[in-house]
Amino acid sequence: MWGTLVKSNELAELKNNSISEKESFRLIREIGLFPAVMLVVGNTIGTGIFTTSGFVIKELKDPGALLLVWILGGLIALFGAISYAELGKMFPRAGGEYTFLRESFGEVFGFLAGWISLIVGFSAPIAATAIAFSKYFLELFHLQTFEVTSKLLAILVILFLSFVHTQKIKIGANFQAGITLFKIFFLFAFIFLGFLCIKENLNTLGMKSLIPKKETILSLNFPVSLIYVMYAYSGWNAATYVGEEIKNPQRNIPLALLLGVLLVVVLYVGINILYVRALSVEEMSGVVEIGAKTAEKIFGGKLSFLFTAGITLGLLSVLSAMIIAGPRVYYAMARDGVFFKVFSRVHPEKKTPIFSILLQAMIAIFMVLTSTFEALLLYIGFTLSLCASLTVLGFMKLKKKFIFPAFAFILANLWMMIFAILTKPLTLLAGFLTILAGFVLYQFKFNQKLKI
């Protein structure tokens, strides 16, 4: 009897240990619709809207074409969101493109999508945005922006936000929703007050000037400019990365994607109309801090502090959103056995993928120390467009029928990428080297069955 009792206790203990082991690999659904929409908006609106318009107008020299590029970019993102919404309903799990491509084309494509997300989709933009945040923060308080100082501050903000998001996802999501709400109100206020305060002598462009020129649209520079704009729109798919933590995913993932993208399009087009109303082509061309220049032209120096503060908090918001979303991809890969097992573990109490968050932080910090955002801009846009196109192609493969939004999304991205290859061949080389490195790592991992 005693032996039977001991054996029974041992079996109960083994069962409890097994449950505990499963819990250490499980995420929980705590994110509602509103935080999910805020995650999409926060992960999209970042460095791009405050910097890329100057580069686009430099390429196109046409304010009407500038606005058309931003509208087309929003339409492409919306077509992508419609396709991803269906995929999110089909596979309401963590991982985003990794999960979708794995289901569509097999394990190696899933791994490559996760690899691209780790290097190009999250770590590089986190590093670049952190550097931009540090420069704006130092400028806000009129501190000297030494390279060492700005990079140190960038590293500190990455570490701080990574720590915040190692806490419970509900805490991180609420923090994200709060700063994203501020960013939305700030941008709407900037657009509204900008149009309210703009003077007639600042209205450098008449309505005829806002009609794009045919020769500009047909030029090689037009689709290449779309790559810049699509970088600014990247992040529209953020809700799919935390699909395993969203409540009622069949309803909330599609709604979060569509509502988030529509809100971003309204803000982006509105702020670009303000840019072209306030500044001439010459004043905009090649200017990184185009938003600050616009505010200074409209409001004068007194309100420039508030605008710089708004941009700084906006950058903090997008940093926070990327730091939430990215680790869920690496977590999903490790859970499925195609990445090092340690990255599938979640904190026993907080239920967050702590090791994946730390991995991303380390890579981003390395990039802060060795890279700049400007050098990576087209590389990021090209590689992410390729990955998103394959994902939507996989959606059509799974559905086994023609779907117009998916087809239009793929066609638009092919158009952009072909012209990027023709005009910027190094972009192609860098993108393919990234994919090749991921393929080699996958083969090494798959053959050696590494376990850590």
Q: At which residue do the structure tokens 């890969």 appear? A: 333
Domains delineated in the chain: 30-448 (1.20.1740.10)
Q: What is the pLDDT of residue 21?
A: 44
Q: What pLDDT is attached to residue 156? A: 96
pLDDT per residue rounded down to tens, the chain (452 residues): 444 444 444 444 444 444 444 444 566 777 888 888 887 887 788 778 887 898 889 889 899 999 999 999 999 998 988 888 888 778 877 667 878 888 889 888 888 888 888 888 889 889 888 988 887 788 778 776 677 888 899 999 999 999 988 876 666 667 767 777 887 888 888 888 888 887 654 555 555 567 888 898 888 889 988 988 988 888 777 767 677 778 888 888 888 888 988 999 998 999 999 898 888 888 888 777 787 788 878 887 667 788 778 888 878 877 887 888 788 878 877 887 778 888 888 877 777 889 999 999 999 999 888 876 666 677 888 888 888 999 999 989 988 888 899 999 999 999 998 988 888 787 678 888 888 999 898 888 755 554 44
Residue type, 178: G
SS3 category, 31: strand
Q: pTM for the full model?
A: 0.78
- The angle formed by the CA atoms of residues 112, 113 and 115, to the nearest 5 degrees, is 60
Query: In sequence order, what are the beta bridge partners of 246?
Result: 31
Q: Which residue has the tokens 């995929």?
A: 87
- pLDDT number for residue 8: 47
> What is the reported pLDDT for 155?
96
What are the phi and psi torsion angles at 94 (to 5°)? -70, 150
State how far the Cα of 86 lies from the Cα of 101, in Å rounded to an integer. 14
How confident is the model at residue 2, as a pLDDT?
42
18-23: which pairs have CB atoms within 8 A and are 24 or more residues apart? 20/348, 23/348
